[in-house]
A = this chain, B = another copy of it.
Amino acid sequence: MEHMEYIAKKEIDFKEPIVITGFPSIGLIGNIATRQIIKELNLDYIGYFDSPNIPPIMTVENGKIYPPIRAHANENIVAIFSEVLIPQNIVYSLTDKLLEYTSHINPKVIVNLDGITSLNPKDIYAVSTSEDILTNIKEQKIPILEFGMVGGMSGLISLKSADKNIPSLCLMAETPGLRPDPMGASNVIEVLNKLYNLNVNTEELIKEDEKIKEKLKKLAEEHLKLMTKQQKVENPMYL
């Protein structure tokens, strides 16, 4: 197993926090949603995961350098996310270290935010390794994914948190998947808000989504014009 460490940068006196994870996958749902939660709830940067196998790509915000896989938190919420794709060879060790850290802070639940492809994205589906959590979820009228797959970090955190008796679930937003999807991220936050009274505002994500759609629409129009012109040129009837 590849070497992995958690480097604490700030200690917090946690009160059975909710741990939210957002690792890059389809539509960047987890990533976008976690960033929004951190921003809206003003979570402090508290530490990072460190390994020779993590791509050495630091993010700069207002001149300050942050590592790519890091945790932000207040007493009640820990948000762990990554700015880089998790290389296949560290998925296991990162999950292991993330759960080692998480089990020290006595979390209420781990919620992994992820996406699932849909041509008509609308719903959020829940999956879990625990029958109890699934029963609870059904009572809250959140749909359950009947048959499918959960891969990468979300899948392995689910499996291994069960082995450590940490309650966990995945919330999977339907997403078109070909672009970053702030609307899917907004939808998943709404479910989080409902389940755990987080009160995270998502207006910004909805506006961002409109901008992206506007851009894509313009691109499609220009592409269509281009295609039409090209066809005229290529079609010998018009030469």
Contact = CB atoms under 8 A, between A and B. Distances in A.
A126 B64 CA distance: 9
A61 to B, nearest CB: 6
A13 interface: no
B151 A65 contact: no
Nearest to A172: B60
A98 to B, nearest CB: 13
How many subunits of this chain does the assembly comprise? 5
A219 interface: no
A159 to B, nearest CB: 5
**Interface size classification for chain A:** 35 or more
Contacts of A62: 144, 146-147
B159 A65 contact: yes
A167 to B, nearest CB: 13
Interface in A51-80: 51-52, 55-65, 67
A92 interface: yes
A127 interface: yes
Interface in A78-130: 89, 91-93, 95, 126-129
Nearest to A137: B63
A175 B62 CA distance: 21
Contact of A148 (B51, B60, B91): B60
Contact of A63 (B52, B64, B146, B155): B146
A117 B151 CA distance: 32
Given A3-B1, A126-B63, A52 B92 contact: yes
18 contacts: A1-B52, A7-B163, A51-B92, A52-B93, A56-B152, A56-B153, A57-B149, A58-B156, A59-B148, A60-B127, A60-B146, A60-B147, A60-B150, A62-B144, A63-B144, A64-B128, A65-B158, A65-B170
Q: Across the A-B interface, give the 3 residue pairs with the lowest CB-CB distance, nearest first.
A: A63-B144, A52-B92, A58-B155
